[in-house]
Amino acid sequence: MDVNLIVNGERCRARVEPRKTLADLLREDLGLTGTHLGCEHGVCGSCTVLLDGLAVRSCLMFGVQADGSEVTSVEGLAGDPESLSLVQRAFQETHGLQCGFCTPGFVISVTAFLAEVPDPTDEQIRDGLSGNLCRCTGYQGIVQAVRLAARLRREERAETSG
C-alpha cells in the first residue's frame, strides 16, 4: 500500500506491506534509524515519535495508520541536522544520557510533555517520564535535563514575547 506522510517537514511516499510498523517504515524505508527499537511491544518508549504533535510509540502503529499525518522523528526535532533542539541541548548539558539508546525516545517524549506542561514539578516530570525506560542513567540526569529544558523553554518564550 502507498503511504503519504510529512516526515520532518518533507513530503514522503513509501510503498509498504499493510502490517509494517511505523517504526520499520521510518527506519527501513526512510533511513531514519534514530528511532530506536527496544522491546517492540510498547513498553520501553525508545521508538517514540511525534505524530501530528503527539508522542506515539511507533512500534505499536502500522505505517498505513500514519497515512496523511505529520511525523517528527529525532532527526527532525531541531529543524536543522547540524544543530540540537532545546531539549537535546538540555540532555547534553546535564549528562542525561550514557549509552544513548533510550535518548531519542526520551527527547521526543519530553518535547511533547513540555508542550503540555511548560512549568512542571518534579513529580510531574517523573510522571511524564514514566513511559520511557533507561537502563543506564538512574534517571537523575534525565530529570535534571527536563528541569533545564523547561527553564530554557520558558526563557526563550519570554524573550520572543517581550
- Please provide residue 113's backbone torsions phi and psi, each rounded to the nearest 5 degrees: -60, -45
Among 18, 42, 53, 118, binds ligand FES (CB under 6 A): 42
Contact call for residue 90 and ligand FES (CB under 6 A): no
Among 99, 122, 138, 157, binds ligand FES (CB under 6 A): 99
Contact call for residue 59 and ligand FES (CB under 6 A): yes
- Please provide residue 80's backbone torsions phi and psi, each rounded to the nearest 5 degrees: -155, 120
Nearest C-alpha neighbor of 108 from the set 161, 32, 160: 32
Q: Which is nearer to ligand FES, 5 or 47 (CB)?
A: 47
Contact call for residue 137 and ligand FES (CB under 6 A): yes
Helix-strand-coil percent breakdown of the chain, rounded to 5?
40, 15, 45
Contact call for residue 61 and ligand FES (CB under 6 A): no
Q: Decide the pairing of beta strands 48-51 and 54-57.
A: antiparallel
Tell me how far, at minimum, the Cβ of 154 lies from ligand FES, in Å: 26
Contact call for residue 6 and ligand FES (CB under 6 A): no
- Please provide residue 115's backbone torsions phi and psi, each rounded to the nearest 5 degrees: -65, -30
Q: What is the residue type of 104?
A: P
Contact call for residue 28 and ligand FES (CB under 6 A): no
Q: Which three cell numbers stand for residue 20?
A: 509494517
Contact call for residue 67 and ligand FES (CB under 6 A): no
Residues near ligand FES (CB under 6 A):
37-40, 42-47, 57, 59, 97-102, 134-137
